[in-house]
Each structure stands twice: as structure tokens, then as C-alpha cells.
């Protein structure tokens, strides 16, 4: 179709950092709202060159309105009513790190804006090459029916030619209209944001001519972005519009909001045959999660602590905690191993929980580093930027841990400290079903750590004796423990055999190049002729397949040690590899439990040459089918993905199911979300996933970028995993993931445990539940149905409380319940 109009969209691309410190950028985006009001008020609303503005992210607008004076609010809503402003639903330009509760929090902000009369209808993202499939249903639930992706094709591919439109089918079967726009950065590259008319007009003419020549572009509107990274608003776009209209009166251009542009495009889309696609928009940029391995692990740990705190604060209300000194053994020292010295007020709890949620979202957006992390890795600015960005994860961890400790004590109400009594481990289960798990617990006032196994009823608590230290001894060739017989060979890097003694099944692929748990590195040979090495690291890109990597696995020549304490058997071995000083791996097996736990503690030095570090899980599953947990959904790798989205690597939340001819495996990760499937695929830029075996490679670290990433990493930390043979379905994957996201809560205590009765029940018990204290003194319960059939939830609460619950939750759908004091 011939182009008959051009829609110029002034906006700024929101990076939390990159061009400047995150400390500076976050507050400046709030000031941008004021600046936009000053600019739009200068021009008459009827002139096509008059500035109109799209707020690409909702966070600055929400922050502005929270503190705006009455006159500022009047000005904002006046321009909004005049059609000069558009507020979109993306909280920030997010990665695939945030989970379903974090997406809920983002849309809570959207609903708060809508409640003030702001018509938020469109979600806009820039830069990132994907978005979690499970975010689409909450998007529609919030009344947001359109998604704009102005993605940056560096290090990735778009699912269709940019620009294009398509319908994205959600997990529930509904549809989101997607406008796959051009790279937002053309606004600066073409000189539009600077008002450089002589530079801008020829490039826009070339762009429009190309659209005119496309048979697959059924729209008469050309959308041109006028923005770039953290750009301060100016009237530059207006100069371009004026010059264009003077030169091309037959092809008018106007400054418009993204909502204006999409209204025109959707009117024509109703008669066009748009592609309909279903599945994950697997982000090519998600390898960024491996560029800050330590900080991503801290972020994920903080998220778990937040969920613990929210659950325990909420259930403590139902359990009748009054917060009095007679119920909680207060500490006289501010310390994380101790009880709280005081209890927060309800307002303080709400404020601190909100701060943790905000810090998690600020860390989960797409800016891992500054624009000079590669060109100037040792600059003070590069280090300061990394410190500022990392501080979001560490602040979330600090507050989350402190909140979780207080909430745990409120809920369990440990008796008065009596040092003459032996200490015990008190374990709480935050789930609607009974669980048996083995936990690593700090005991004896922080002097040692032990592995404790406990079976805990739904929403219940048990008290467990602290196990004896136990002694490490040389292990035989094979160790029989629980339901498994295990063989570890350090020279092969890890576990070479795990036989399930209940059925004789071998779980480890004997033909794999290295053992389960082996640490594997990838490096580019120094004599490589690949342009990513000889020209620019920016050419690590689909247009330049490769480079070839040299791979090596850690090995060791020391003994395998075994320790047996009660029902828990642990195997330990050491290995090493060039560039990695020390690797200590511990495999834990528990009598009566199907799960195996693996912790791999790695001490890694910094290295500036391109590199990757993986931990191998070569499961013996032929013709595998991989089910991956993304935020709020489960998808089948390769088969349920948008075209040309990442097959080389994936970012998961916690769990993967591997089903195939030899049976199924459930696998979960606590700390590292990035994986490769079937084999190592780095640099293949594959359009289809080739995975003949059910191998999972946990990709913990890499520096494969030319900007934004850290140029090198050093860390010492443990990466923790859990896996078991099991039936693999979407429901079992989501259930396994939920238990990893909210593990059992153990804590060493001195004193007698008071009787504890579960304050709530939820049926069916495989519903995924997230409790949160509500500001009105009640509880909010988020319910997620992991199965493929509707369910009728039933929640029971103690006397004096009433439950408002949905009658039914659809297959793979969400619902929300409220528990309030009777009569409130």
C-alpha cells in the first residue's frame, strides 16, 4: 500500500543508566515530565509540527504524579486531555529476569495510573529483543491491548521485518496486537532529535520509499521514532516536521503520540491478513544475565526473601500475632542471625516491602552496564555505574532479608531465649501442599552450616534436631544413597552415573563429553579470523555466524569424599581449570526424597578476552522435548516461540522439564537463569533448535558484547541446582518452579517452639499461591492455575476472617482472592 502519511513519535528511550549513572538517570526521567510540559505548552495544539510526546515508560509518570504540586498536575492532565501526551504501560524496558509477581507489580502501577483517569492502552518497549510470553495475559487483564517493540537488532534478530504488525496469541488464547517497530535509535542516527533537517529528510525519504516497495506492508502510515537513549526533550522533531511538510506537501508528516499512530494502523489492520503467532519471544539479549553473574544471583535471592516476607507477614495476621513482646523473643543486637529488636508498624512494613519491589524492578530492566564498559573498563565511571546498578540488587537483598527475618518471627512466635536449651531448626512451609526438602542451614549461632531434611505439612511448621557435624571420608567407586546409586569421577569433571534404583534407569548420558556438574569454559582462539575478534566485538551477531569456540572442562585428580548424617548423604569433589582457581562441588541425596541437590562453588578470576562459563547437566534423555518456565507461563522450546527468536540460549525463571524416550527430568536453578539446550550453541545464531539429547547447560557467565555488559567478571560463589526423574507436563514444571521460588524456610532457634497450626488452607493444593499483606489490614492472595483445565479454588481462613475468592480460574490462568476481617 502506498504511504500517505508519516507519524513522527517524539519520546526518549528509558535506560536506567547507560549514558550516565543510574543514580542520576532515574531522577532525571522524572524531570523530563516537567520539561515536556514546558515544551508542549509553547505550541498550538492544531499545528502538525507542534510537539506531542509519548512516555515510553510508566515509572517516570507515576513518580512525577506522586510528588507533583496541584498546578503541575493540572498542567499534565490538561495536555493529556488535549491529546498532546501518551503514557504507555511498560514500567521500564524490562529483561526476562522479572517473574510473574514482578509483572503483577508493574501492572499495579498501570492500574493506579488508569484510576487517575490516564488512558493507558499501549505497552511500549525499546532495545530489548524479547518479552516473556506470560506477560501478555496480565497485559490484557489491565486493559492494555497493544504492544510496541522498537527493538535494537544488535546481537539478535527480529521475528519479522521491521516494521510489521502481527497478532500475538497469549497462553490463554487471547490476542495482543503487536507493532514491531523500527529501532528507536534511528531518531538520533537520522538527525531527527537534533533537528538536523539536511541529514534527516533524505533518510526518511529512503525509509518511506522502502515501505512503498514492500508487498507485505498493508498500511498507509509510516511510523518514525524521534528518540534515543535518555534524550532530553527538545523541539528538534518539530523542525523536521516543518521542513518535511514544506518539501512534501502531498505526503504530510505530523508529530503524534504512539496511541495516535496505532489508532490509524489498527483501523487498517482490521482488513489485513496479519500473521498470528503463539509462544515465547525469547530474547537474544538475555545473555546479558550472564554478564553480571554474582549480581543476578543476589537479585534472585532477594526476590525469594521478598516472597518469604510477604507470605509470612500475611499469614502472621491470620495466625493471630499481636506483635507483643510476650510473643516474640526480641534481640538486643541488630544482626541478621538474631531476632528483630523491634517490630515495624503496618505502615513501615508496607513501605519497606514496596522499596524492595521497586529495587527489584530497577535491577530487572535491561541496562547491565554503561556505554563505556568495553572501551574504558577501568574508568571510574564504569565502576561507579556498576556499583549503582548493583546497588538495586543489594538493597533489595538487605531489606528483603531483614523483612523476612521479622516476618518469620512474627509467624512462628518463637519462645523466650533460654540458652541452656539445645538449639533446633524450625522450618515453615509456605505452600498449600506438604513438602520434603533438604536445606542448607546456618546453625550454632552462625558457627557452622548443616544439611537438614524435613517433611513439613501445608502452611505448617516442624521442629528438627540439629544434626551432628559428621565426618568426610573417601568414597567408594559408587555410592548407594536413598533411591540412587551415584558415581563421581573428578577427572571427567563430575558425575558420570546416577542410577535410579527403583527402576534401574540411568539419568546421566554416558556418551556426553563431560560429567554432570562439570564446569565448562568457552574461549575464542587468539588466531581467530572472525570479525568479532579482528574488527569489533559488535560483530558477534547473526549476520556473522560464529565464532568457533575452544571448549574445556574442569577436572580433578583428588579423591571423592562422602559424608552421611542421618538421612542425608553428601558427595564432594574438587576440580580446576585455567582461569578458574577453585571449584568445589557437593551433591546431596536424601533418603525418602526424589530430589538431588547440586551446589558448585566457583572462584573465578577476571578475564578481558571473550569467554563463557557453563555448568553441564547431560541428562540421558533421547529425542527430548524441553518445557521451559518463563514469567507466568511454560513454553516448549523451538515449537512455541516467535520466528527467529533466540534458540542459542534461553532465560528461564526456575525450572525446565525434559521429556523424551527415556523418561522425564525436572531441573531447577536457584541462582543462574541462563541456559543452553541439547549442546553448547554459542555463536550458531540458529533458526531452529537442534537438540538430540536432553542436555542442559547452565550458562553462568559471559562477556560477549561490545557495550553495556561488564568487560570482565570475577566472583566466588556457589551456584545451586535441584533435579529429579519425573513426569514432565506444564503443570509439573510450574509446580517444581514454584517450590524453588519459595523454598521451605528453616531457621536455627534456641527456645521452645509454641504449637503452630496452619492458619489457612488452599485447595486444590497444586494451585500456585502468593500471599501479600494488604494495606487495609487484610491479605491479598494471587492464585495461578498451572494445569490445562479450569479449577474452582477453595480457601479457608480462621474464625473472624472472610474470604472473597474467584469461583473459577481458567486453564493456565490467574485469579485473585482477598481475606479480610469479618465485617471490615
pLDDT digits (tens, 9 = 90+) for 457-500: 999 999 999 998 899 999 999 999 999 999 999 999 999 999 99
**Which of 286, 224, 284 lies closest to 252 in space, CA to CA?**
224
pLDDT at 421: 59
- Residue 251 has which C-alpha cell? 505526503
**Higher per-residue pLDDT: 412 or 150:** 150
- Residue 462 has which C-alpha cell? 516442624
- Taking only the tens place, the pLDDT of each residue in 151-200 is 998 889 999 999 999 999 999 999 999 999 999 999 999 999 999 999 99
Locus of grid cell 542516527 = 189
pLDDT at 323: 46
- Residue 175's SS3 state is strand
Adjacent-strand bridge partners of 253: 6
**Segment among 382-386, 430-434, 510-514, 755-759 with least mean pLDDT:** 755-759
Q: What percentage of the chain has pLDDT greater than the value 70? A: 98
CA max distance for the chain = 91
Q: Residue 419 pLDDT > 70, yes or no?
A: no
Average pLDDT taken over every residue of the chain: 94
C-alpha distances (whole Å) from 591 to each of 476, 569, 743 are: 19, 8, 19
Q: Residue 326 pLDDT > 70, yes or no?
A: no
CA 275, 280, 286, 287: dihedral to nearest 10 degrees? -100
Are 733 and 699 in contact by the 8 Å Cβ rule? The answer is: no
Q: How confident is the model at residue 447 (pLDDT cuts 50, 70, 90)?
A: confident
**Higher per-residue pLDDT: 374 or 254:** 254
Question: In the predicted model, what is the mean pLDDT of residues 774-794?
Answer: 94
Q: What percentage of the chain has pLDDT greater than the value 90? A: 89
Q: Residue 753 pLDDT > 80, yes or no?
A: no
pLDDT at 324: 47
pLDDT at 471: 94
Are 755 and 739 in contact by the 8 Å Cβ rule? The answer is: no
Neighbours of 358 (CB within 10 A): 18
Please state, in angstroms and rounded to a whole number, the distance separating the CA atoms of residues 650 and 672. 11
Q: Residue 376 pLDDT > 60, yes or no?
A: yes
- Taking only the tens place, the pLDDT of each residue in 570-600 is 999 999 998 898 999 999 999 999 999 999 9
Please state, in angstroms and rounded to a whole number, the distance separating the CA atoms of residues 823 and 327. 27
- Residue 568 has which C-alpha cell? 542425608
**Which of 14, 173, 191 lies closest to 87 in space, CA to CA?**
14
Neighbours of 614 (CB within 10 A): 27
pLDDT at 1: 67
Please state, in angstroms and rounded to a whole number, the distance separating the CA atoms of residues 817 and 432. 15
pLDDT at 236: 94
Question: In the predicted model, what is the mean pLDDT of residues 716-733?
Answer: 97
Query: 65: part of which helix (H) or strand (E)?
Result: helix 58-67
Please state, in angstroms and rounded to a whole number, the distance separating the CA atoms of residues 695 and 679. 6
Locus of grid cell 487484610 = 778
Polymer length in residues for the chain: 824
- Residue 464 has which C-alpha cell? 528438627
Question: In the predicted model, what is the mean pLDDT of residues 195-206?
Answer: 96
Question: In the predicted model, what is the mean pLDDT of residues 798-806?
Answer: 95
- Taking only the tens place, the pLDDT of each residue in 114-123 is 999 999 999 9
pLDDT at 155: 86
- Taking only the tens place, the pLDDT of each residue in 589-645 is 999 999 999 999 999 999 999 999 999 999 999 999 999 999 999 999 999 999 999
Please state, in angstroms and rounded to a whole number, the distance separating the CA atoms of residues 104 and 779. 16
Q: Residue 105 pLDDT > 60, yes or no?
A: yes
**Which of 369, 416, 429 lies closest to 20 in space, CA to CA?**
369
Question: In the predicted model, what is the mean pLDDT of residues 62-89?
Answer: 96
- Taking only the tens place, the pLDDT of each residue in 131-144 is 999 999 999 999 99
DSSP structural state of residue 736: H
Contacts of 205 (CB under 8 A, 6+ apart): none
Amino acid at each position: 500500500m502506498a504511504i500517505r502519511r508519516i507519524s513522527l513519535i517524539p519520546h526518549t528511550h528509558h535506560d536506567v543508566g547507560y549514558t550516565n549513572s543510574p543514580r542520576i538517570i532515574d531522577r532525571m526521567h522524572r524531570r523530563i515530565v516537567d520539561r515536556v510540559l514546558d515544551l508542549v505548552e509553547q505550541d498550538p495544539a492544531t499545528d502538525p509540527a507542534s510537539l506531542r510526546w509519548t512516555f515510553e515508560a510508566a515509572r517516570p509518570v507515576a513518580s512525577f504524579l506522586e510528588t507533583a504540586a496541584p498546578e503541575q498536575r493540572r498542567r499534565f492532565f490538561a495536555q493529556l486531555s488535549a491529546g498532546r501526551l501518551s503514557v504507555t504501560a511498560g514500567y521500564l524496558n524490562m529483561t526476562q529476569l522479572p517473574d510473574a509477581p514482578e509483572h503483577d507489580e508493574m501492572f499495579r502501577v498501570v492500574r493506579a495510573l488508569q484510576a487517575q483517569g490516564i488512558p493507558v492502552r499501549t505497552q511500549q518497549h525499546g532495545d530489548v529483543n524479547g518479552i516473556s510470553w506470560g506477560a501478555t495475559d496480565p497485559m490484557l487483564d489491565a486493559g492494555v491491548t497493544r504492544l510496541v517493540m522498537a527493538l535494537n537488532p544488535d546481537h539478535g534478530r527480529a521475528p519479522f521485518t521491521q516494521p510489521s504488525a502481527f497478532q500475538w496469541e497469549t497462553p490463554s488464547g487471547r490476542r495482543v496486537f503487536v507493532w514491531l517497530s523500527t529501532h528507536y535509535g534511528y531518531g538520533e542516527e537520522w538527525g531527527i532529535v537534533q533537528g538536523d533537517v539536511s541529514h534527516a529528510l533524505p533518510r526518511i525519504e529512503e525509509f518511506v520509499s522502502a515501505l512503498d516497495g514492500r508487498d507485505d506492508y498493508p498500511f498507509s502510515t509510516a511510523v518514525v521514532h524521534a528518540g534515543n537513549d535518555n534524550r532530553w526533550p527538545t523541539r528538534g522533531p518539530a523542525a523536521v516536521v516543518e521542513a518535511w511538510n514544506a518539501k512534501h506537501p502531498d505526503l504530510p508528516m505530523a508529530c503524534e503520540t504512539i496511541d495516535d499512530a496505532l489508532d490509524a494502523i489498527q483501523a487498517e489492520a482490521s482488513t489485513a491478513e496479519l500473521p498470528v503467532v503463539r509462544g515465547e519471544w525469547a530474547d537474544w539479549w538475555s545473555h546479558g544475565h550472564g554478564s553480571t553473574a554474582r549480581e543476578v544471583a543476589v537479585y534472585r535471592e532477594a526476590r525469594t526473601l521478598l516472597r518469604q516476607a510477604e507470605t509470612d507477614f500475611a499469614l502472621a495476621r491470620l495466625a493471630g500475632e499481636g506483635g507483643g513482646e510476650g510473643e516474640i523473643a526480641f534481640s538486643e543486637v541488630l544482626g541478621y542471625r538474631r531476632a528483630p529488636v523491634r517490630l515495624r508498624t503496618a505502615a513501615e512494613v508496607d513501605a519497606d516491602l514496596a522499596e524492595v519491589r521497586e529495587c527489584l524492578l530497577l535491577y530487572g530492566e535491561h541496562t547491565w552496564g554503561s556505554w563505556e564498559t568495553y572501551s574504558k573498563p577501568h574508568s571510574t565511571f564504569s565502576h561507579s555505574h556498576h556499583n549503582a546498578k548493583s546497588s538495586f540488587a543489594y538493597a533489595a537483598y538487605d531489606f528483603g532479608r531483614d523483612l523476612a527475618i521479622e516476618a518469620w518471627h512474627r509467624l512462628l512466635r518463637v519462645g523466650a531465649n533460654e540458652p541452656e536449651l539445645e538449639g533446633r531448626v524450625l522450618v515453615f512451609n509456605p505452600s498449600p501442599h506438604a513438602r520434603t526438602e533438604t536445606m542448607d542451614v546456618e546453625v550454632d549461632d552462625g558457627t557452622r552450616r548443616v544439611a537438614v531434611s524435613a517433611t513439613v505439612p501445608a502452611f505448617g511448621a516442624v521442629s528438627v534436631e540439629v544434626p551432628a557435624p559428621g565426618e568426610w571420608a573417601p568414597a567408594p567407586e559408587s555410592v548407594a544413597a536413598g533411591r540412587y546409586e551415584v558415581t563421581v569421577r573428578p577427572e571427567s569433571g563430575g558425575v558420570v552415573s546416577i542410577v535410579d534404583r527403583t527402576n534401574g534407569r540411568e539419568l546421566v548420558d554416558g556418551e556426553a563429553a563431560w560429567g554432570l556438574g562439570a564446569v565448562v569454559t568457552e574461549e575464542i582462539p587468539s588466531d581467530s579470523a572472525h570479525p568479532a575478534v579482528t574488527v569489533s566485538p559488535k560483530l558477534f551477531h547473526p549476520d556473522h555466524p560464529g565464532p568457533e569456540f575452544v571448549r574445556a572442562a574442569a577436572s580433578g585428580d583428588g579423591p571423592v569424599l562422602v559424608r552421611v548424617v542421618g538421612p542425608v548423604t553428601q558427595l564432594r569433589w574438587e576440580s580446576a581449570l585455567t582461569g578458574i582457581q577453585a571449584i568445589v562441588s557437593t551433591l546431596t541425596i536424601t533418603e525418602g526424597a526424589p530430589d538431588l541437590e547440586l551446589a558448585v562453588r566457583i572462584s573465578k578470576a577476571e578475564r578481558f578476552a571473550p569467554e563463557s562459563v557453563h555448568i553441564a547437566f547431560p541428562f540421558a534423555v533421547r529425542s527430548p522435548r524441553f518445557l521451559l518456565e518463563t514469567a507466568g507461563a511454560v513454553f516448549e522450546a523451538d515449537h512455541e516461540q516467535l520466528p527467529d527468536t533466540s534458540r542459542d540460549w534461553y532465560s528461564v525463571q526456575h525450572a525446565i522439564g525434559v521429556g523424551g524416550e527415556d523418561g522425564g527430568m525436572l531441573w531447577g536453578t536457584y541462582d543462574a537463569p541462563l541456559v543452553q539446550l541439547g549442546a553448547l550453541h554459542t555463536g550458531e545464531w540458529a533458526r531452529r533448535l537442534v537438540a538430540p539429547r536432553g542436555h542442559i547447560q547452565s550458562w553462568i557467565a559471559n562477556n560477549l558484547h561490545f557495550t553495556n555488559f561488564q568487560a570482565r567478571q570475577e566472583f566466588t560463589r556457589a551456584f545451586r541446582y535441584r533435579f529429579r526423574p519425573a513426569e514432565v507436563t506444564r503443570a509439573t514444571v510450574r509446580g517444581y518452579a514454584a517450590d524453588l521460588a519459595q523454598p521451605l524456610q528453616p531457621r536455627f532457634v534456641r527456645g521452645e517452639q509454641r504449637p503452630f497450626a496452619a492458619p489457612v488452607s488452599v485447595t486444590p493444593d497444586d494451585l500456585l499461591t502468593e500471599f501479600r499483606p494488604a494495606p487495609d489490614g487484610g491479605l491479598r492472595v494471587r492464585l495461578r492455575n498451572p494445569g490445562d483445565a479450569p479449577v474452582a479454588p477453595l480457601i479457608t481462613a480462621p474464625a473472624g476472617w472472610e474470604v472473597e475468592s474467584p469461583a473459577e480460574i481458567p486453564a493456565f490462568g490467574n485469579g485473585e482472592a482477598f481475606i479480610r476481617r469479618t465485617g471490615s
